[in-house]
């Protein structure tokens, strides 16, 4: 019997597809260091942030995978540190 992918599996796949260029670049790295890992983490975060800002329907990634869309903070609320 074929096991159906979980919603987490599907979310991981969707995110991996969005990060395909970073995954490809990561495969070319011969020497990993904490600085290289940090650069990839920043790039992935930045890519996700840009993707979220440019979604046609805000929260679509969450909705598509059955997750609750987090509430937005109001401008008057201080940012978390």
CA dihedral defined by 24, 30, 32, 36, rounded to 10 degrees? -50
21 falls within a domain: no
Distance CA(36)–CA(44), nearest Å, equals 12
Q: Domain span at residue 54?
A: 31-67
9 falls within a domain: no
For position 80, what pLDDT does the model report? 64
Q: What is the pLDDT along the chain (81 residues), one digit of tens a residue?
A: 778 999 999 999 999 999 999 999 999 999 999 999 999 999 999 999 999 889 888 888 889 899 998 888 877 766 666
13 falls within a domain: no
62 falls within a domain: yes
54 falls within a domain: yes
Nearest partner of 66 among 13, 8, 12, judged by Cα: 8
* pTM of model > 0.85: no
For position 58, what pLDDT does the model report? 86
The per-residue DSSP string of 11-35 comes to HHHHHHHHTHHHHHHHHT-SS--HH
DSSP state of 75: T
For position 79, what pLDDT does the model report? 64
Number of domains making up the chain = 1
5 falls within a domain: no
């Amino acid at each position: 019997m074929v096991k159906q992918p979980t919603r987490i599996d599907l979310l991981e796949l969707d995110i991996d597809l969005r990060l395909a260029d970073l995954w490809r670049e990561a495969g070319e790295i011969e020497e990993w260091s904490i600085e290289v890992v940090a650069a990839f983490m920043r790039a992935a975060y930045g890519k996700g942030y840009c993707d979220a800002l440019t979604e046609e329907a805000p929260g679509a990634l969450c909705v598509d995978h059955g997750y609750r869309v987090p509430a937005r903070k109001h401008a008057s609320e201080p940012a978390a540190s």
